Chain A
């Protein structure tokens, strides 16, 4: 079975600083990887996904993540964060493209301070 570990439960940063949220996974077969974002008192929204092809994937709001098969990682990065990026971020893995059995990590709370 697959599993996901998010290495930091809380990440505080100042506005306009770079940030990296770390995610490692384990699986004996090929995986599909996702990052979801949860703003306060809301449900989760898909931020970006890796299914195949280019190992670097980007979101519309400046986040990017790189699939590293040798290190079994899918870290999320942004070169300059905004106050509005404050949210909880979840890494998730599936062994099917349909994602019916998404396994989520524990979540990382990103807090951007002025």
Chain B
């Protein structure tokens, strides 16, 4: 009963380093998305995908890349980390035509020094 699985749960990077946050879901959901959560700002949408091979930008896409080669996986890449990307990142998924209920992973806490 895994649901949405995110790895790693914690990561510390130096400015300029690159890394990938992994997200996998086992519910056969077409829609997957990445949010970042910052104090006092709620959750902001970074990128999303409505199916394999299809991705689109959300509210705050700069500095992040995504790809969707399979239904199950939706990795988020930071190409050159900056301190402004220190945040908690959440992956969420749902069936394509579901009425609003997103299923969230437990989050990945990233610190960029």
Contacts and interface: CB of A to CB of B under 8 A. Distances in A.
Given A46-B102, A51-B99, A51-B100, A99 B94 contact: yes
Given A43-B4, A43-B107, A106 B102 contact: no
A102 B41 contact: no
Contacts of A100: 31, 33, 48, 50
B45 interface: yes
Most buried by B among A32, A46, A51, A98: A98
Nearest to B109: A41
Contacts of A106: 40-42
A34 B104 CA distance: 15
Interface range on chain B: under 10, 10 to 19, 20 to 34, or 35 or more? Answer: 20 to 34
B34 interface: no
A94 B98 CA distance: 13
A47 to B, nearest CB: 10
A101 B100 CA distance: 9
B45 A41 contact: no
A25 interface: no
Interface string B73-100: 0000000000000000010101011111
A34 B100 contact: yes
Contacts of B4: 43
A46 B90 contact: no
B8 to A, nearest CB: 14
Contacts of B98: 98-99
A56 interface: no
Contacts of B44: 104
A49 B101 contact: yes
Contact of B101 (A6, A41, A99): A99
Nearest to A107: B42
A41 B96 CA distance: 27
Nearest to A42: B106
Given A100-B31, A104-B42, A45 B99 contact: no
A49 B106 contact: no
Contacts of B41: 106
